Amino acid sequence: MSAPRLSDRTLRAARAGVALPHYPREAVEVGVVHFGPGAFHRAHQAFYFDRLLRSDRRWGICAVSLRSAAVRDALAPQDWLYALAELGEESRTSVIGALREVLVASEHASTVFSRLESPDTRLVTLTVTEKGYCLDPGARLDRSHPEIAHDLGSPRSPQSAIGWLAEGLRRRRAQGIAPFVVLSCDNLPDNGRTLQDAMTDFASEIDPGLAAWIRREVAFPRTMVDSITPASDEPLRRRIEEEIGLADAWPVQREAFTQWVIERSPQLPDADWESAGITIAADVESYDRAKLRLVNGAHSTLAYLGLLRGRETVQEAMADAPLARFVERLMREDIAPSVARSSSGSPATDAAGYIDAILRRFRNREMRHLLAQIAWDGSKKLPVRLIATVQEALQAGRPVGRLAMPLAAWMRFVARQAQRRVPIVDPSADRLQRIGSACSGEENRDVPRFLELDSVFPPALAAQKPFAAAVQAAYAALSDPMAAVDSDELHTRV
């Protein structure tokens, strides 16, 4: 017989050893509206709000999914409860109670608006992935993006996260309600400013007064979020059912390590953020630079090179000794010099120690993190994770041969997917499919086609001969991916 379903009613029957919400859930108020209730939000921000709720009941979450009903349908019968497995040397499982509701925006627009308008809503947080910001290559709003074009035409019935935020803010302003604080929790450099720019670009098209008000009154503190969150799978569901003795349709898992840094801002509501484990810092820049370039840059490198070398998970890629050595050298010799030094106690002050910790995290044996998950959306991830580092290296006169390897590996990966007719998960999938299908394996024909993608490679970079030559050399070497990462000569040549 299968276990009873997790819910407020059955929670008391959970097995001993599982951490349960230590607060009366019925007293929890909604103080946060969150866009994008995927696994990362539920494993990360919701975990921190769950901790805050132990002593402050204002921080319940109304989670909004723009279109998909999957999370809502899985969690509704569970009173929005779900299990979080933290995986490491000492794994632990807890039940998170911070979600108060999950709304599907396209079905319940008026409820979403009433949450956005409520003075109790003090924070709006977002995890909508890089592509959810609808940005152009210059990191400004892409007005030709179909959802943005729709929302500019019908701003009262939005489809994009930007459109929802703008309409929520417009309504608050019209009613004289102070704005909420907006926290972007996606892996974008200067995510707060980037979102604020996109919001003002949007608002200036529909109402310049609103745009000026957003600039002046709405705080968009910068954040850095970090915790490796493999997608939920059937073994996790089974494991959780066994551990807690209750069935959970959609538990989540992440590594035990987790970090959330939020920029200090006078508008940030008063709360005991630090006791929940959140770091409030004046300088988030050095944190997010180090995190995006080292954690995410190395992750994408492992993904593309690992997949070409027949590996399936991060753990397998790290057990592939030449590949692990390559990634370590890339981090220490090529990326670390571009990670700003700071006096604020951020990880950047100790790049070597930070890298040691990342390598340990990648080797976490309790996790099964698919390289294919990291490989998604490469056209949006590479500019932030690796290309910015390449540009700085070239400016500083450092070699870029090693940094060119993951870029060339991405090209080979795209070509392989296209030629095997495996769908490419990427907002530029159609274009990548066309380029990939036309690839012949010859570096001087294939690489220039990819370098023409100006949303990935800034034209001024693509035009630099040493850069194009380094990518071509790496691409040629990757005709034999097993030998490629061992060839040292390649990596030092510019």
Separation of alpha carbons 380 and 296, rounded Å: 12
Where residue 134 falls (left for φ over 0; alpha for ψ -120 to 50; beta otherwise) is left
Which one of 374, 393, 414, 451 is in contact with ligand CS2 (CB under 6 A)? Answer: 374
The least CB distance from residue 231 to ligand CS2, in Å, is 9
Return the residue of 299, 311, 402, 491 that touches ligand CS2, per CB under 6 A. Answer: 299
Q: 228 to 267, contacts with ligand CS2 by CB under 6 A?
A: 228
Q: If you ran DSSP here, which 8-state letter would residue 6 be given?
A: P
Burial grade of 18 (CB within 10 A; 0-12, 13-18, 19 or more): middle
Give me the amino acid identity at 386: L
Q: In 106-251, where do the E strands start and end?
A: 123-126, 181-184, 223-226
Residue 263 C-beta: closest distance to ligand CS2, Å: 18
- The burial class, CB within 10 Å (0-12 / 13-18 / 19+), for 366 is middle
Nearest to 458 by CA among 394, 387, 365: 387
Tokens of 85: 């497995």
CA–CA dist 305, 325 (Å, integer): 12
* 187 counts as binding ligand CS2 under rule CB under 6 A: yes
Q: Answer yes or no: are the C-beta atoms of 195 and 220 closer than 8 Å.
A: yes
Which residues ranging from 210 to 229 are in contact with ligand CS2 (CB under 6 A)? 226-228
Work out whether 124 is an interface residue with ligand CS2 (CB under 6 A): no
Site for ligand CS2 in 29-48 (CB under 6 A): none
Phi/psi region, residue 381 (left: phi>0; alpha: psi -120 to 50; beta: rest), is: alpha
Q: Which is nearer to ligand CS2, 187 or 191 (CB)?
A: 187
User: Of 160 and 301, which CB lies nearer to ligand CS2 in the complex structure?
Assistant: 301
Q: Whole-number minimum distance, CB 423 to ligand CS2, in Å?
A: 17
Under the binding rule (CB under 6 A), the answer on residue 367 touching ligand CS2 is no
Contact status: 295 vs ligand CS2 (CB under 6 A): yes
CA 280, 286, 290, 291 torsion: positive or negative?
Answer: positive
- Residue identified by tokens 């180090």 is 290
Secondary structure letter of residue 12 according to DSSP: G
By CB under 6 A, the residues from 78 to 117 that bind ligand CS2 are none
From the list 373, 419, 455, 487, which residue makes contact with ligand CS2 (rule: CB under 6 A)? 373
Give the span between the Cα atoms of 298 and 330, in whole angstroms. 8
Considering the complex, what minimum distance in angstroms separates the CB of residue 491 from ligand CS2?
Answer: 22
Least distance between ligand CS2 and beta carbon 494 (Å): 27
By beta-carbon distance, which residue lies closest to ligand CS2?
299
426 or 446: CB nearest ligand CS2? 426
**Alpha carbons 45 and 177: distance in angstroms, whole number:** 25
Name every residue whose Cβ is closer than 8 Å to that of residue 395 and which is 6 or more positions away in sequence. none
Question: Which range, of 214-222, 291-299, 422-430, 462-470, touches ligand CS2 by CB under 6 A?
Answer: 291-299
Q: Kindly state the smallest distance separating residue 456's Cβ from ligand CS2, in Å.
A: 15
Among 296, 315, 455, 464, binds ligand CS2 (CB under 6 A): 296
Give the nearest distance from C-beta 376 to ligand CS2 in angstroms: 7
Q: Which stretch binds ligand CS2 (CB under 6 A): 162-170, 178-186, 373-381, 427-435?
A: 373-381
Q: Does 358 bind ligand CS2 (CB under 6 A)?
A: no
Q: What order do you get walking across the sheet with 181-184 strand by strand?
A: 99-104, 60-65, 30-35, 123-126, 181-184
Q: What does the block give as tokens for 200?
A: 């003002």
Instruction: Give the binding range for ligand CS2 (CB under 6 A) out of 52-60, 66-74, 294-302, 464-472.
Output: 294-302
To the nearest whole angstrom, how small is the minimum distance from the Cβ of residue 298 to ligand CS2?
A: 9
Residue number with CB closer to ligand CS2 (173 or 291) = 291
CA end-to-end distance (rounded Å), the chain: 64
Name which of 299 and 402 has its Cβ closer to ligand CS2. 299
Binding residues with ligand CS2: total (CB under 6 A): 10
- List of residues contacting ligand CS2 (CB under 6 A): 187, 226-228, 295-296, 299, 373-374, 381
